[in-house]
Structure 1
Amino acid sequence: MDKLAEFTENRPRLFGLAYRLLGEATEAEDVLQDAYLRWEASGPVEVPAAWLTKVVTNLCLSRLGSARARREKYVGPWLPEPVLTEDGRLGPLETAEQRESVSLGVLLLLERLTPPERAAFVLREAFGYRHAEIAEVLDVGEAHARQLYRRARAHVSEPRRRFTASTAHREEIVLRFLAAAAEGDLAGLERLLAEDVVVWSDGGGKVTAARRPVLGPSRVARFVAALAADPRAAGLDVTIRTVNGEPAVVFHEAGSLYMVLSFDLDGDRVAALHAVLNPDKLAYAAAQAL
């Protein structure tokens, strides 16, 4: 198999890895371009998949340091870039664990980790790597790789919710939420919200968005109802798409992607809403939606 064919065969897995590590689809594409240049210039490689995984992981680790510095100066809450996943863009998402590994909520939790911890967690949780294999990728001892994973899991596992409901049930909750919002039904909205519900809005200073999270069922219900009652909402095209493995609401205005609203569900309740409005963050999904 020639170099291009080998890389193309591995590309979907490598993109899924880079996206999970960076939380940014456009950056993940840039990493894959850099990885291909290195792959094309390399000599004979005994196990191409392992070689490429190591290169992509380390390219991402190099970028995570500067990414953290940029995010500290970001205007308002920072959210990962949404990706439409109906075409398998991020690999198989058939199980709750696979969907969870790319949800915006979990990707946001991964921001708490150091770059090596994030790599250990993603390689183990999303791709099933053994600790010895993770150690090889990260150039550390196996004991250190285990420690990185344990620390990562301790930081991430406690606050996250497992996705157990069926796809049809999750879509039903989203539809009920939309109906209550459109009707201005505050009581109906509150019944759908968890006690610790939170709304995160990412406008990046480019468009109007809440600069701070909105907390609690009453405040979130009023916030959502006010947005739905805004005259601008009447001109939006609203569809439900699969985004990062979960049903999400996609809003278009005059043919352009305006917002992606994703849901973290806890049983029958909405535990978190992630609203991405920053046009830069929507560029990848907008290209997918064409």
Structure 2
Amino acid sequence: MRLRHLPFCFAIWLIGFNTEAIRAQSLPVPDQGKLLATAGVIQVEGAAGAGLVPWAVITGYGTEDSYGFNAHVTQLNTQDYQLSTYGVALGICDKLELSLSKQEFSGSLTPLDKLKLSQDVVGVKLKLAGDLIADQDNWRPQIAIGAMYKRDQNVTGLDALGVTQVTQLGAKSNQGTDYYLSATKLFLAQSLLLNGTLRMTKANQMGLLGFSGDLHNRYQVMPEVSAAYLLNRKLALGAEYRQKPNNLSIDHEKAYYDGFLAWFPNKNVSVTLAYVDIGDITAFNTKDQHGWYLSVQIGH
């Protein structure tokens, strides 16, 4: 693989990639050489994938000699809660992905109508093997590993209960790291993409309610799956499932589901609309939560 244009690809070579040469040149314009929609969209924690699940793809449309980047904003509204996510991501040489995002969660129904939770998420993903496009003559998927470091901010809106930290709700820690392995296979002739992800996690509600708890205080492996059908070059229809741990007595955490429609008018913009079921959030409100998810991504 030739990495002729990016001096910073030297860092990738140092950690074990088989590169032929790295030449220090000025940073080029991203080549946008990958096929439309094959970079996925940005999922709710900032990684390239679908809405809920990270895929093995690297964000942006830069090929192995280039890079890609994007910014995104996402809004999820259920009957009683809102989740806003925004951030940026960078894909380097179609091998390495770096992301930074922030999640802000709030309530709208008494007694949690003033509740506000937030966390910062720093992500990294490394492509290990396979190629989404090149491996059409075999069953080998594209495979990547990733990690998401998450740190909660202070809890607000529960002052009457004396709660200002997620650890006061039963979590063992306000920070933690998810580790995952993803395999993504694209069947171009059938216009079908399949993804499976295994995530090691201690996170409660993706980490918004902290990490570990009174029921479990260990890493658990959670399966996540996605499937998408390309209706045409610019539209993808799909569904996802994401299993969740159940670490807290005050939060009977359930799996997440969604059905989504992603639109790719060009390689600079994508819009994802989904209907999501995230289960109940806390013992203070045991109603099953479902609603609409909208995400807009702009990049190069």
Tell me which interval the TM-score lies in, with the shorter structure as reference length: under 0.3
Indicate the structure with greater helix content: 1
Normalised to the residue count of structure 1, the TM-score between the two structures is: 0.26
More contact order relative to length (CA 8 Å, sep ≥ 6): 1
Indicate the structure with greater strand content: 2
